[in-house]
Chains A and B, each alone.
Chain A
Amino acid sequence: MLRVEQLKIPGLPSLTFEVGAGSCLAIEGPSGIGKTRLLRAIADLDDAPGQCFLDGAERREMPAWQWRRQVRFAAAEPGWWGETARHSINETAGDEARIEKMTLDLGLDPSLLDSPITQLSTGERLRLALVRALADQPRVILLDEPTGALDKASAALAEELIRYHILAGRTVVLVSHDSGQIDRLADLRLQLADPARALS
C-alpha cells in the first residue's frame, strides 16, 4: 500500500492519496501541470516536502536507494548505459528467465537484448525500459507514459504486461495521455488542476 500525505509539488496544492496493492491510480491533468514531477517526487528523485509511505514506512526512514528498489519510476524517455539493453537490465536483481519472458510478452525478440542500444528503435527501447523497470518486481511502479511512443499493437501488449503486474498485487501509478488506456487499467483517478488557473 502506497500512501502519499501532504506531498507538495510546486504549482500544485498539497496531495494526499492512497493506492493499495493490486490497484492502479491514473494521474490526469493538462501538460506541464506536474504529473512527471509528482512521480519523481514519489520515487524521491526530486525533493518534495510531505510524506510517502510504503506499508507504513516513510521514504526517509530508509536509504533512498532502498526506497527506489521498491518504488520504481519508469521515465517517459528512459536513459541507457552500456552497449546493450541486457547490460543495464542485468544491473537489477531480476532473473534471466523472467527478463526474456517479459521481452517476448512485449512482442520483442530476446536477441534484441544483446543488440547495440543505438541500433534499437524508440519503441523497442521504450519496451525494453519497461522490462528493466519490472525485472526485479518492485512493489510500486510509477509509469510515465509507458506506451507514449508505441504503435497500437505494441501498446496493447505493454498494457497486458502492466495489467498482469496489477493482478499480481503490484501498486501502479500511471501517467498517460491515452484516456482509453486509463479506462482499461485504472481503478482510481486523480485529477490535477492548477489552483491559480482555476481561480482566474
Chain B
Amino acid sequence: MSPYVSLTPLDLLAAATLILVNAAISLTFRLGLERTLLLTSARMVVQLALIGLVLKWIFAQTSPLWTIALASIMVAAAGYEAISRQERRIRGWLAYGLGSGTLLLVGTFATLFAVGAVISPDPWFAPRYVLPILGMVLGNSLTGIALALDTLTANAARDRAAIEGRLALGQPRLMALRETTRRALKTGTTPILNAMAASGVVSLPGMMTGQILAGVDPVEATKYQILIMFLIAGSTGLGVLIATFGGALLITDERHRLRLDRLATKEKSPAG
C-alpha cells in the first residue's frame, strides 16, 4: 500500500485561514476584492467537492457516454471562462463558439493523442485517464486562449489608427492586423513556455505534486508530468493559434473593416 495520508475536514479548515492573508492585503490597499475573494474561495471548495463526488461516480461506471457527457460540460465551461473574463470581449455567441470550439478541438486532439498513442488504458475511454488529462489540457489552453484574445482586442483598440491606416492603403485584414496577431500569439504562448522552463526548478507542477503526495514514486510521477507538459504545450500552442486568427476574423468583417463595435467593455469593474 502507498503511504497515503488522508486529510480531515479540520486540516482543510486550517488551510483556509491562509486566504485571510489575501483578505488583509485587499483591506490594507483598498483593492475592494474581499467579496470576490470570499466568493471565489467558496466557489472553488464547492466546485472541487462536487467534481470529487461526480468523478468517483463516473469512474465507477466506466461508461463512454458519461465520460463524453462530463467532457462536454468541461469544454463548454472552459469556453465560457475563456471569453467572459476578457477585458474587452467580442460580443455575441460567435465568440463563445470560437472559445469552446477551439478548446473542443485541442482538448479532443490532446486527449486522444494521450490515450491513443501514449498511455493506452483499457478501455481507451477509461474516465480515470481521459478526464484528468482533458482537464489539465483545457485549464492551460484556456489561460493561453484568454490571454491571446485579450491581447488581440486590447491592441486592436489601442492601435486602431495604425490598423485602419493599413486597411486604407489597401492591405487585407490579416495583413493589417499582423503586428496585433503577432503580439497575441506571443502573449498567449508565454505562460506555457515559462512553466516548462520553471518546472522542476522553481515549481513542482501540480499534478506531479499530487501524485507524489498520494504516494507515487517520484520518477514515475515525473514521467507522467513530462507527458502532460508536452500535451499542454502542444494544445496551448494550437489553441492560441486558432483563437488568435479566429478572433482577428471576428473583429473584422468580410469587407476588411476593423469592427471595434463588436467589442463589449466589461461592465464589472473593481470598486475603488
Contacts and interface: CB of A to CB of B under 8 A. Distances in A.
B162 A80 contact: yes
Contacts of A68: 167-170, 256
- The range of chain B's interface size is 20 to 34
Given A65-B170, A65-B172, A66-B170, A78 B255 contact: no
Contacts of A129: 165
A132 B166 CA distance: 10
Contacts, number: 73
Contacts of B171: 65, 91
A77 B161 contact: yes
Given A47-B257, A64-B256, A65-B170, A81 B179 contact: yes
A5 B37 CA distance: 58
B167 A132 contact: no
A137 to B, nearest CB: 12
Contact of A81 (B165, B253, B256): B165
B172 A63 contact: yes
B168 A74 contact: yes
Contact of B166 (A43, A77, A81): A81
A67 B170 CA distance: 7
B164 interface: yes
Interface string A46-80: 11000000000000100111111100111101111
Contacts of B163: 79
A74 B170 CA distance: 12
A104 interface: no
Contact of A78 (B161, B170, B253, B257): B161
B220 interface: no
Contact of B257 (A44, A63, A91, A136): A44
A100 B162 CA distance: 22
- The range of chain A's interface size is 20 to 34
Contact of A79 (B164, B170, B255): B164
A79 B171 CA distance: 14
B168 A64 contact: no
A16 interface: no
Nearest to B178: A81
Interface in B146-161: 159-161
Nearest to B256: A64
Contact of A80 (B165, B167, B169): B165
Nearest to B252: A64
A83 to B, nearest CB: 12
Nearest to B258: A45
B182 to A, nearest CB: 12
B169 A79 contact: no
Given A75-B161, A79-B159, A63 B168 contact: no
A92 interface: yes
A84 interface: no
A7 B101 CA distance: 38
A178 B265 CA distance: 38
A79 B256 contact: no
B167 to A, nearest CB: 6
A181 interface: no
A45 B167 contact: yes
Nearest to A135: B169
A31 to B, nearest CB: 20
B169 A72 contact: yes
A154 interface: no
Contacts of B160: 79
* Best-buried of B170, B172, B255 by chain A (most CB within 10 Å): B170
Interface of B: 159-172, 179, 253, 255-258
Going nearest first, the 3 A-B pairs with the smallest beta carbon separation are A79-B161, A69-B170, A79-B162
23 contacts: A44-B257, A45-B167, A45-B258, A47-B253, A60-B255, A63-B172, A64-B255, A64-B257, A65-B167, A66-B170, A67-B170, A68-B169, A69-B170, A78-B161, A79-B164, A80-B162, A80-B165, A81-B165, A81-B166, A88-B165, A88-B166, A92-B169, A92-B170
Given A47-B253, A68-B170, 9 more contacts: A64-B255, A66-B170, A68-B256, A78-B161, A81-B165, A81-B166, A92-B169, A132-B169, A133-B169
